Each structure stands twice: as structure tokens, then as C-alpha cells.
Amino acid sequence: MSNKIKQGHYELADAEAAKALKRLPTEKGWGLFTRPANPQPGVDEDGQFMWFDKKSDLSRFLQEHIVYWASLNCGPTEEDLPKICEAAAVLVRRAEQGEVTLAEAMNELSDWLYEFNKEIAWAGSYLELLSSPEEFPVEVRSWFRQVVADETIREVRPEDGYPLRKEELPDFLQLLEDYSGASLEDDLEFEDTL
């Protein structure tokens, strides 16, 4: 593969990621949260949400762009990237066909992205983020309620992770916008208190 073609993959992946990082979720939207797989002490690398208008857009990003985007600054040799991209595409198609769950596919994809110091902490629909009992959505809702309640970190209460109420949605969206493509990782460290 020529350097011009490789550079085109990187530029397109970076452009698609930039759009996803700036996009806000919609009711029918799908997203993912990426973060450093191996954070380095003293290095400011935080997690970030990426949003897509529909599941097929998320799927396309995962199949065509995630590997190039994740490898922009590090990772295996460029000769390995097309193989990893093809394996990622096959894995995402298997998830679309129900052969594996989306969570299983994201775990395996994260294993491959580890070489680039990236992992996918969550992928799913915006509606799942609002109400799913899964660990990551509960952490995000708990974090949101702590910030809205008193702007300080306090002990997490079980009710913090409950599904969001309709009247909370404008503030939740505002908070996602405020943290769009920015740091949530430092604030999402509630595993020990849930």
C-alpha cells in the first residue's frame, strides 16, 4: 500500500473521528466511549464519547476507521494495519449478525486496540446510556447526578444510577456537550463505590 493511500486512511479516519467527537447524541443515536488502555502517569489522556446518527454509522466507523484513528500516534507497523482493519470489520459484521454481542465484539476489538493504547469502554445506543442497568451507563448517570446535585464529588448513592427522568435530559445533554471530546475519565472512577 502506498504512503499516499495510507495517509488517506489516516486523514479520513481522523476527520470522521473529529465529527463524531463534536456530534451530540440524538434519541436514535449510537455512540462509543474510548479511553487510554494504559494511561501514563503525568500524561493528560482522557476518555471521550463519539456519537453517530444511527447504528449503521457506528458500525461503519468501527469497520473502516477505528483502527487508523487509534493508530495515528502509535502502534504496530503500518503493514499490520490493513490486517487488523479487516479483522475488525469481520468482528463488527459478526456482531451485526448476532453471532457475538456488541459488548463481546468491543472487548475483542479493545484487545487489538491495546497496541495503540486505546480501548472501548462502552458502545451502545443513547437510550441505553439513559436507562441501561449495565455498569458504564450507571457510572455515567451517577456522575451526572453528582455534578448536577452539588458540583462536587460525593459518595455515590444507589439511586444515582437509576434511569434518567425526562426532566433531567436537557441538563444531561448540556453536560455531554460541555464534555464533548473532553475529559470524562477522571470523573468516571466510581467502580469501588457502586
pLDDT at 3: 46
Separation of alpha carbons 35 and 45, rounded Å: 8
Break the chain into its structural domains and give their ranges: 3-187
pLDDT at 148: 75
pLDDT at 36: 86
pLDDT at 45: 61
pLDDT at 76: 56
**Which residues are registered as beta bridge partners of 124?**
31
**Interhelix angle 169-178/135-150, nearest 10 degrees:** 100
Q: Which of 94, 45, 25, 37 is nearest to 103 (CA)?
A: 94
pLDDT at 192: 35
pLDDT at 15: 93
- Contacts for 128 with CB less than 8 Å, ≥ 6 apart: 134, 137
Q: What is the DSSP letter of 179?
A: T
pLDDT at 166: 92
Which helix (H) or strand (E) segment is 108 a member of?
Answer: helix 102-113
> In order along the chain (194 residues), what is the average pLDDT of each group of 10 residues?
58 92 91 85 73 95 92 70 89 94 92 88 94 92 80 67 91 81 44 33
pLDDT at 151: 54
pLDDT at 193: 31
- The residue type found at 171 is D
